[in-house]
């Protein structure tokens, strides 16, 4: 098998077809960014989308859980199935990567290693022992042999780091995202967790280049809905230097998920307003915008969340949540000794967004 080449690719990436698709991808991504900019509480959307992104990006790697298991783990970390715990780590890694990027304003190998450490909950770091290969699970066939030695891996990562952070080349940033994702996966710098780390890098890269302000693109939804193509196209870059179809795939993924994430954002925003109206009409004495924001911050709320968020006693917080249950805005559920209040309509929107096929 031939050696993995350093970036940039030795082909013209900005072909006619690519440029045509590129305009659409930029247009819909910018629309999503613009809409999110205007939202009064941006955390609601970030928290919601990262739940789904974490779930699907993990599912690409056969780490499969349900929204119901997942919110138990997110609320009470000792609950939920093992896959839900892994998904919760993934979301933590994504949000942590976002924080790191805000502090440093560039994307480095060290950040990749930190993200990976949270996903995998271990310190294994970059590969040092040879033997890692990408295998087709169905046929056992070797589809890619990534670089073997530690020296090759760090040289290629340093080349990738330059490519990511340079401002001097003239290639469009969305095309570069496709190149970066291929190259990261082909380097395969870790023993495991490369797919998930790479898909977090995708979102961080969009933020680095000011194409989004926060990790709100539900990009893995497209990949999981078109998974075989994802694998085939990655492979064809390696085997045939066939970049155009790969770039088109990623650009299409950005276009489609920008549209569907915008719809999700609009639905959530409308739901927040509708719930605020019901709340105000049915129980104006305890209504506050802050309480609405708390019950939409995550699809579940604990009594402590209200207690701390509004700086009220536990008893008052508990009364508020019971009142919200009476007017059907929340539904309580006992898990072990903990009481959780579920925002069912919000949960349902997240579940529905996770069913989209493209």
Ligand X SMILES: Nc1ncnc2c1ncn2[C@@H]1O[C@H](COP(=O)(O)OP(=O)(O)O)[C@@H](O)[C@H]1O
SS3 state at 145? coil
Binding site for ligand X (CB under 6 A): 60-61, 134, 143-144, 185-186, 192-196, 198, 231, 234-235, 238
User: Least distance in Å: CB of 196 to Mg ion?
Assistant: 8
- 148 in contact with Mg ion (CB under 5 A): no
- 64 in contact with Mg ion (CB under 5 A): no
Q: Is the dihedral of CA 221, 227, 229, 231 positive or negative?
A: positive
| CB within 8 Å of 210: residues ≥ 6 apart | none
Answer with the entry of Mg ion, ligand X, none that 185 interacts with (C-beta below 5 to 8 A by kind).
ligand X
18 vs 187 by CB, closer to ligand X: 187
Residue 62, sorted as left (phi over 0), alpha (psi -120 to 50) or beta, turns out to be left
- 192 in contact with Mg ion (CB under 5 A): yes
How far is the CA of 317 from the CAs of 9, 30, 228, 278, 342, in angstroms?
58, 40, 48, 19, 15
209 vs 235 by CB, closer to ligand X: 235
Task: Name which of 354, 70, 103, 61 is nearest 221 in CA terms.
Answer: 354
Neighbours of 345 (CB within 10 A): 18
User: Least distance in Å: CB of 192 to Mg ion?
Assistant: 4
32 vs 201 by CB, closer to ligand X: 201
User: Least distance in Å: CB of 163 to ligand X?
Assistant: 17
229 vs 318 by CB, closer to ligand X: 229
197 vs 269 by CB, closer to Mg ion: 197
- 161 in contact with Mg ion (CB under 5 A): no
User: Least distance in Å: CB of 208 to ligand X?
Assistant: 20
Distance CA 348, CA 288 (A): 24
Instruction: Give contact residues for Mg ion (rule: CB under 5 A).
Output: 61, 192
């Amino acid at each position: 098998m031939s050696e993995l080449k350093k970036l940039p690719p030795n082909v013209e990436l900005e072909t006619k077809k690519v440029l045509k698709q590129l305009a659409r991808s930029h247009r819909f991504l910018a629309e999503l960014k613009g809409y999110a900019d205007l939202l009064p509480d941006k955390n609601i959307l970030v928290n919601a989308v990262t739940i789904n992104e974490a779930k699907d990006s993990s599912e690409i790697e056969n780490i499969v859980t349900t929204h119901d298991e997942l919110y138990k783990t997110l609320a009470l970390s000792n609950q939920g199935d093992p896959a839900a715990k892994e998904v919760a780590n993934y979301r933590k890694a994504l949000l942590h990567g976002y924080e790191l990027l805000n502090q440093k304003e560039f994307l480095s190998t060290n950040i990749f290693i930190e993200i990976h450490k949270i996903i995998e909950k271990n310190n294994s770091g970059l590969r040092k022992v040879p033997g890692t290969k990408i295998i087709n699970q169905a046929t056992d066939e070797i589809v890619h042999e990534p670089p073997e030695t530690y020296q090759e891996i760090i040289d290629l990562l340093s080349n990738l780091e330059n490519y990511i952070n340079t401002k001097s080349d003239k290639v469009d940033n969305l095309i570069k995202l496709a190149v970066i994702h291929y190259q990261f996966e082909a380097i395969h710098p870790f023993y495991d967790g490369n797919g998930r780390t790479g898909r977090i890098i995708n979102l961080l890269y969009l933020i680095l280049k000011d194409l989004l302000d926060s990790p709100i693109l539900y990009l893995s939804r497209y990949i999981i809905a078109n998974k075989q193509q994802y694998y085939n196209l990655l492979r064809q870059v390696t085997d045939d230097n066939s970049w155009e179809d790969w770039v088109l795939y990623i650009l299409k993924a950005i276009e489609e998920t920008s549209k569907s994430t915008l719809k999700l954002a609009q639905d959530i925003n409308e739901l927040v307003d509708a719930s605020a109206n019901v709340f105000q009409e049915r129980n104006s004495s305890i209504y506050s915008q802050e309480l609405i924001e708390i019950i939409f911050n995550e699809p579940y709320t604990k009594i402590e969340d209200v207690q701390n968020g509004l700086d009220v006693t536990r008893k008052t917080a508990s009364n508020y949540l019971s009142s919200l249950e009476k007017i059907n805005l929340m539904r309580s559920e006992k898990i072990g000794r903990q009481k959780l209040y579920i925002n069912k309509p919000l949960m349902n929107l997240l579940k529905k967004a996770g069913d989209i096929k493209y």
